[in-house]
Structure 1
């Protein structure tokens, strides 16, 4: 399987600069925030979101070099993503992410909430300094969407009436909105046509949905070591994802287990068995592949280049994480 590092080789140097810049951007104010920033941005994350921004920037600028504003947009994108993870981990009471202790488990809830708030505030300040109102609007909407997605997830815990359509909407808010809107924003900074800007948005939307569906499948098929967090953690917390929703159509007894919130001994194990016996995981794979294919259709209007080819290859990479 191709690693994210080798996949993103056309922007490898850009990503190295980004990681160093991120530490400097957020860590100057306070020792505890410096420690949290080192902890966050020193982590071996895949940097998928800023890589997409940088690839689209290079694909749309063609022979010209990308601008400092493109680079700053990639940094803002990663700051917003990281801030949302810090807050999600507090809400979900997660002890580890990417195999390392979360900010709140290392520094406490108070510091984690403040660090997340600080990152959102910093990203907003840097966003305003791009001096591009259309881009400011796009990324500001993302911050609202992230909160909306978290609220929807919280309100629909253990809700067996939750539909696939509602799941995809929540997945858009929580994951795809940032990728979609930052992809479009990169195009706007390159002054692409309105039509191409919408295609870039659609690429980000569908690649983001594919990415989230694959993550939700891996929650059932991946090991704790590979996931960097406990397996089946979403199910245990009542967050019903595509494999569960599809399995519910075939396994009526699963509904009772979920509605009593797995309160009896063996409930989780029985639920996992029902999900794995059903076609829920296979149907979720098909759904992820459908969105990956839609993403590729929207990127082919870009002129041929190595960054464009990498954006196409990314759709295969997202699906290959399942195998």
Structure 2
């Protein structure tokens, strides 16, 4: 399977610089924040979101170089993403993220919440300093969407009447909105026309949805070592994703188990077995493939080259995580 390191090789040096810049931007104010920043940005994340911004920026640049404003957009994108993860882990009471202890389990809830708040505030400050109102609006909407997605997820826990459209809407808010809007923002900073900027938005949206659907499938098929968290953790917390929603159409008893919130000792294991015995996972794979393939169609206006090809290959990589 292709690694993200080789996939993002055209911007590998840019991503290393981004990581160092983020540690300095966030950590300069306070020792605790510096420790948290070292921990957050030193973690072996995929850096997919800033990589997409950097790849688009290089592909659109007449001389192939990235401007300071594009670099700052990539940094803002990763700040917003990281802030949302820190807060999500507090809300979900997750002890592990990417196989390592979460910020709140290492530094406590108080520091985690404040670190997340600080990252959102810091990203807003640097966003305003880009001096581009359209980009400010796009990324500000993302921060609202992240909160909306978390609220929707909280309100819909153990709700077996949830439909695929509502699931995709929540997935857009929680995952795809940031990728879509930061991709469009990269186009706007490069002064592309409105149609091309919208294509970048659609690329980010579809890649983001495919990525989230694949993550939700891996919650059932991946090992704890690979996931960095316990398998089936989404289902156990009442977060019903595509495999479960499709399985509910075939397995009526699954609804009973969900509605009583897996109260009996064997309920969760039985629910997972029912989902694996249904067409839920294959149908979710088809849904992910549809969104990944649609993403690539929206790259047609991007100049050819290694950055363009990396963005095409990303769609294949997202799906390859399943195999």
TM-score (norm 2): 0.99
Instruction: Give the total of aligned pairs.
Output: 323
Residue of structure 1 in register with 2:17 after alignment: 17
Residue of structure 2 in register with 1:264 after alignment: 264
- Alignment partner of 1:234 is 2:234: yes
RMSD: 0.6
Instruction: Give the 5 Å matches for 1:55-204.
Output: 55-204=55-204
**Structure 2 CA distance for aligned equivalents of residues 44 and 241 of structure 1:** 26
Residue of structure 2 in register with 1:315 after alignment: 315
Q: CA deviation at 1:64?
A: 4.1
Unaligned runs of 5+ in 2: none
Unaligned runs of 5+ in 1: none
TM-score (norm 1): 0.99
- Alignment partner of 1:244 is 2:248: no
Q: Which moved more, 1:247-256 or 1:297-306?
A: 297-306
**Structure 2 CA distance for aligned equivalents of residues 62 and 319 of structure 1:** 32
**Structure 2 CA distance for aligned equivalents of residues 28 and 14 of structure 1:** 21
**Structure 1 CA distance for aligned equivalents of residues 131 and 239 of structure 2:** 39
Give the secondary-structure state (helix, strand or coil) at the position aligned to 2:249: helix
**Structure 2 CA distance for aligned equivalents of residues 315 and 128 of structure 1:** 31
**Structure 2 CA distance for aligned equivalents of residues 267 and 211 of structure 1:** 28
**Structure 1 CA distance for aligned equivalents of residues 301 and 278 of structure 2:** 39
| Alignment deviations for residues 246-294 of structure 1 (CA, whole Å, 9 cap, x no partner) | 0000000000000000000100010000000000000000000000011
Q: CA deviation at 1:60?
A: 1.3
